[in-house]
């Protein structure tokens, strides 16, 4: 048995995309999350690397996303990695996403981390 768990802290890259069902109830939210690693080079200069992650939120957590999350919001996301495929113009594409199971808003915390 394996373990599939992802924990990320980062900033939302754009306002979440919200999807509603036929009853006009919110059922899904998608957004990108940027995680930045800062480090010092051997020369003493500072460097950084930013990774972008696709986040998918379903269920009751979508209400938190709709009400409080927008571009620039600092959040903690916990979930699992999934990969899906789709065909476009005869070519197979792969998308890796984090399916969120927990979200914490971190904007009120010290932003120096």
Q: How confident is the model at residue 113 (pLDDT cuts 50, 70, 90)?
A: very low
pTM, two decimals, is 0.84
pLDDT tens per residue, range 45-96: 999 999 999 999 999 999 999 999 999 999 999 999 999 999 999 999 999 9
pLDDT tens per residue, range 26-51: 999 999 999 999 999 999 999 999 99
E strand or H helix that includes residue 66: helix 61-68
Mode of pairing for the β-strands spanning 46-58 and 74-88? unpaired
Q: For the structural domain made of 6-105, what CATH number should be given?
A: 2.40.50.140
- Structure tokens, 35: 């995680």
Domain boundaries, the chain: 6-105
Residue 111 pLDDT greater than 50, yes or no: no
């Amino acid at each position: 048995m394996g373990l599939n768990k992802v924990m990320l802290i980062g900033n939302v890259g754009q306002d979440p995309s919200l999807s509603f069902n036929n009853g006009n109830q919110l059922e899904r939210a998608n957004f990108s999350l940027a995680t930045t690693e800062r480090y010092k080079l051997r020369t003493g200069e500072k460097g950084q690397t930013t990774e972008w992650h696709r986040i998918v939120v379903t269920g009751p957590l979508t209400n938190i996303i709709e009400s409080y999350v927008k571009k620039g919001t600092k959040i903690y996301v916990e979930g699992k990695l999934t990969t899906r495929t789709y065909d476009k113009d005869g070519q197979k594409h792969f998308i890796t996403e984090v399916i969120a199971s927990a979200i914490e808003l971190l904007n009120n915390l010290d932003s120096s981390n």
